[in-house]
Amino acid sequence: MHGFSYKNGSLFCEDVDLSTLAAEHGTPLYVYSAGTILDHYTRLDAALGEIDHEVAYAVKANSNLSVLRRLAQHGAGFDIVSGGELFRVIKAGGDPAHCTFAGVGKTRDEIIYALEQGIYSFNVESAEELAYLNEVAGELGRIAPAAVRVNPNVDAKTHKYISTGKSENKFGVDFGAIAGLYERASKEFKNVKLRGLQMHIGSQLTSIAPFIEAVEKVIPLVTALKEKHGIEFWSIGGGIGIIYKEALESGDPAWWENQPEETRPLTIERYGKELVPRLRNLGLKILLEPGRYIVGNAGVLITKCLYEKKGAAKTFKIVDAGMNDLIRPALYEGHHEIVPLTAPATTEQVTVDVVGPICESGDFFCQDRPLPDFQPGDHIALMSAGAYGFAMASNYNSRPLPAEILVEGATATVIRKRQTLDDLIAGEI
Ligand SMILES: *Cc1c(COP(=O)(O)O)cnc(C)c1O
């Protein structure tokens, strides 16, 4: 569910008319619903309510300070993948003691920064990294809290670029090598305290089965690690998928009710109901690292149609947002619903490609998709753009980064100014 719907023929975010925002702030423009973000966070927190747990929001999905600040104020922890993300969390008022640090390539500077800030755990992705963490912590005279990421070799059944829990992926340590690594660490790595185990099998998982498979596979391992090495937490990762197709419709609770049982998308309540009983009696603190689920459906990218180009084989609607603003379609065939800000007067549709201005054939938001026949000057919203949208935006083609707006009820706040041409060259000589 989310805060975007038509009211009297205009697309709103909560109580704010998106056409008004587009007129006032220009396009391309990211708009987020704070109510949706906090609703998702609160519902996930509640779904795990029965067990000792912490929701560590995966900062990389959307790292705007104002988003992080709202989540910190509501008690979220944070899963970070760089020193830069730790810096953001601290600036936003988050507590490093509730931060876990993931990623296969942590640098010396990042390790030192995170040690000095007192993070909760380094989630280590190889034996080599654990040895290096031990070395750096030793130099600083500190004990580094750590967990190893287990690769459970489970198929997440998601796009190959966002699948992370198979043996052929670069992530984590092979399931069969974990017990030996904890054994070795307890003897050799005196400056590391292994306090947990971590896993994350992939992103945009839309069924519960891979989560159950991974949890059931790892339970005996995590139980043995608790007995032998006294670990206190198990992070079961993020990866909970969201609705991309029918994104607008899925804002309505009735839409969820009407989905047939067999094909009903994964809800957070189902996630809790299936996993909590399996996790309840382990005596471990359970960490979650959701990113997309918290912010994905809470944001849209608004763009203006510039031209309609009728080619020999296709009709192109050329818009003022490009793959530099939202790269998901080009990077992993991501689907974004496209809806006009003004509700179409007829149900008639035309089959078009919606493309950006960038000099790349991969610069499209959809291909051969039937859409309402919006015209140059009209605004459209690319739905479900709150996660891995702005966070992945770049200045490619020397295009300034778009502005970001956070809506709370009837209030809209610019939480990141649109870049200027001077911003583009700042730092260059
Ligand atoms: C990216 C990532 C997440 C978040 O994934 P989502 O699919 O956005 O929930 C969680 N944990 C780790 C280790 C990640 O790399």
Judge if 258 and 361 occupy the same domain.
Answer: no
Q: Is the dihedral of CA 58, 59, 64, 65 positive or negative?
A: positive
Judge if 313 and 274 occupy the same domain.
Answer: no
C-alpha span between 256 and 361 (Å, rounded): 36
In ligand 1, which atom is closest to the CA atom of 290?
A: 9
Judge if 74 and 38 occupy the same domain.
Answer: yes
Query: Which of 59, 60, 171, 268 for mutating ligand 1's site (highest number of atoms within 8 Å of CB)?
Result: 60
pLDDT for 304:
98
Judge if 81 and 108 occupy the same domain.
Answer: yes
Based on the residue annotation, tell me whether 13 is a catalytic residue of this protein: no
pLDDT for 3:
95
C-alpha span between 12 and 308 (Å, rounded): 26
Last residue in a domain, options 250, 271, 295: 295
Judge if 11 and 129 occupy the same domain.
Answer: no
**pTM for the model:** 0.96
Longest dimension (CA), the chain: 71
pLDDT for 115:
98
Contacts of 262 (CB under 8 A, 6+ apart): none
Model confidence over 247-289: pLDDT tens digits? 999 998 889 888 887 778 899 999 999 999 999 999 999 999 9
Cα–ligand 1 centroid distance for 60 (angstroms): 8
Token pair, residue 184, equals 């070795």
pLDDT for 264:
81
Mean pLDDT in residue range 21-35 = 98
Judge if 323 and 271 occupy the same domain.
Answer: no
Listed residue (384, 365, 390, 45) closest to 242, CA to CA = 384
Judge if 18 and 159 occupy the same domain.
Answer: no
Judge if 280 and 139 occupy the same domain.
Answer: yes
CATH for 197: 3.20.20.10
pLDDT for 164:
75
102 lines ligand 1 (CB under 6 A): yes
C-alpha span between 427 and 4 (Å, rounded): 38
Judge if 346 and 285 occupy the same domain.
Answer: no
Judge if 329 and 389 occupy the same domain.
Answer: yes
Which contacts qualify for 103-112: CB closer than 8 Å, 24 or more apart? 104/129, 104/170, 104/171, 106/133, 107/83, 108/136, 109/83, 110/82, 110/83, 110/86, 111/136, 111/137, 111/144, 112/136, 112/140
Judge if 320 and 341 occupy the same domain.
Answer: yes
Model confidence over 312-340: pLDDT tens digits? 999 999 999 999 999 999 998 999 999 99
C-alpha span between 363 and 301 (Å, rounded): 15
Last residue in a domain, options 253, 277, 295: 295
Model confidence over 386-421: pLDDT tens digits? 999 999 999 999 999 999 999 999 999 999 999 999
Domain that holds residue 170: 34-295
61 lines ligand 1 (CB under 6 A): yes
Number of compact structural domains in the chain = 2
